[in-house]
Structures are given as C-alpha cells and as structure tokens.
C-alpha cells in the first residue's frame, strides 16, 4: 500500500527562504516522497511556499530571486515595511502574480490548504478551494497580512476580512495521514534546524514562535536557504525516502 503524506510549512516571515531551500531538496532528492504527496498546507510565508511547490515548482529559482529582492527592498526602507509610502502588499502581490501559472487555482484546489484568521471572529479557517486565480492570490495575500506591518486594511474576500493565518494556526496539521512539518525554527518539526542558532527576536503567534518581520541580512538569508536544503536532505535520507 502506498504511503500517503502531506507537507506543512510554518509561518515564518522572511525566514521562508529556509523553506524554499527545503523545497529545492524535495524537488531534487525527494521524488519518492513527492509521488506520495496528497496536499500541502501553510500559513503566511508557509502558504506561499506550499503554493510554489504545488503550482509552480519550475519557478523555484524565480521565487528565490524574488524573495531576496523583496527582502532587500524592505531592508532599504527606514522603518522597514512600515515606512510611509512603501506598499508591502503591492510588492508581494506582484511577486505572486509573476510566479503563479494561469491555471494555478485549478492545480491548487484540494491540494493547497491555506491558513487564514477571520478579522472579526479571530477564528481560524483553512481554505482549499479556489474559484479563480484571483481568488487564490487574495487568499495567499490574506494569509500573509499582518496588521500595521503590512498595512491598515485587511484583505477582503467574499465580504469577510482576513488577516495572517499565523495568528491562529501557524503550522497546520492534517487530520488524516502523516503531516511532514517544515520550519526554520528548532523544535519537534520533521524538517528544522537541529540546534538553536542565533535568530532575530521572536514574535509569538499561535502554536509556534515566528520571527519578527524584518528580513535578516543577505548572508544570513543565504545561509538559511542552504540550511533548509541540507536539513531536508538529512530528513529524506534518515526516513529512507532517497532509497531506490
């Protein structure tokens, strides 16, 4: 009987570059695992990473380049993303729009589960059905919207206002089957750093600690990407996913 697995990517701000390194390792060495993959889940940056793996794996390099460029632009701002006149969500939307293929919503439906927080009830919602590419983009933007940091107006979808899914479930676990968890923070996740390294100050969101949303310096981001790749390769080898 074929093992069915799911992947879940944690909310982690610009440390999502670690998870893009993980995706590179899955695509390069994890063919056996990916052949058993049923779905991906994620919140905030984790949802964006899951969307790339599910809908645009061929755009991984493009996605990494955008992440570095996006981080650089935020670092240049005097107050980071909160600098008056800088539109964080506009730049993020441009990156998503350039990466997702025309049929992204069809590829993502029932295979990508995005964690959102309802602005009014403060309850979590997992969205996995997308009526159009625009709907998918809005859901991804909503999952990444941190009030004040990313702007003042939450993302509105079908009359409801939504904010970052990391506030209510930053590392979604599927009810059925095995969920392989990926996070740039040391802990009990399946793929994560094996030691507690030096990290930026943490902000407590939901069931995990996630980084403050100011991107680390470029050399640290590059090191995180490589670390994500190596930690994932170690996981695949340890679990036997690289064997013939």
**Residue tagged active-site, from 44, 115, 170, 183:** 44
Q: Is 164 a catalytic residue?
A: yes
CA-CA-CA-CA torsion sign (225, 226, 230, 233): positive
Catalytic member of 143, 144, 164, 169? 164
Active site residue 44: yes
Q: Where are the beta strands (DSSP E) in 66-152?
A: 112-118, 124-127
Q: Give start and end residues of each alpha helix (H) in the chain.
A: 16-29, 31-35, 45-55, 60-76, 88-99, 104-108, 133-143, 218-238
Contact present, 42 and 53 (Cβ < 8 Å): no
CA–CA dist 199, 230 (Å, integer) = 18
Tell me how far apart the terminal alpha carbons of the chain are, to the nearest angstrom: 17
- Tokens 């990473």 belong to which residue? 49
Residue ranges of E strands in 110-231? 112-118, 124-127, 155-157, 160-164, 178-182, 202-205, 208-211
Residues tagged active-site: 44, 164
């Amino acid at each position: 009987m074929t093992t069915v697995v799911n992947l879940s990517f944690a909310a982690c701000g610009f440390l999502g570059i670690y998870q893009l390194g993980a995706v590179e390792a899955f695509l390069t060495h994890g063919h056996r695992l990916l052949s058993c993959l049923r779905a991906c889940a994620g919140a905030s940056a984790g949802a964006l990473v899951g969307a790339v793996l599910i809908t645009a794996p061929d755009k991984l390099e493009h996605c990494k380049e955008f992440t570095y460029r996006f981080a650089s632009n935020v670092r240049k701002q005097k107050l980071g993303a909160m600098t008056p006149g800088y539109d964080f969500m506009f730049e993020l939307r441009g990156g998503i729009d350039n990466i997702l293929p025309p049929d992204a919503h069809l590829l993502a439906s029932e295979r990508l589960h995005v964690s959102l927080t309802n602005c009014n009830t403060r309850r979590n919602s997992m969205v996995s059905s997308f009526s159009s590419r625009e709907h998918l983009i809005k859901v991804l933007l909503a999952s990444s919207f941190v009030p004040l940091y990313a702007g003042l107006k939450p993302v509105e979808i079908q009359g409801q206002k939504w904010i970052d899914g990391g506030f209510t479930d930053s590392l979604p676990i599927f009810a059925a089957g095995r969920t392989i968890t990926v996070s740039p923070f040391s802990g009990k996740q399946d793929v994560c750093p094996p030691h507690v390294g030096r990290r930026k100050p943490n902000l407590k969101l939901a069931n995990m600690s996630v980084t403050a949303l100011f991107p680390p310096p470029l050399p640290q981001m590059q090191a995180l990407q490589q670390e994500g790749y190596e930690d994932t390769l170690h996981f695949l080898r340890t679990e036997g996913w690289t064997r013939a």
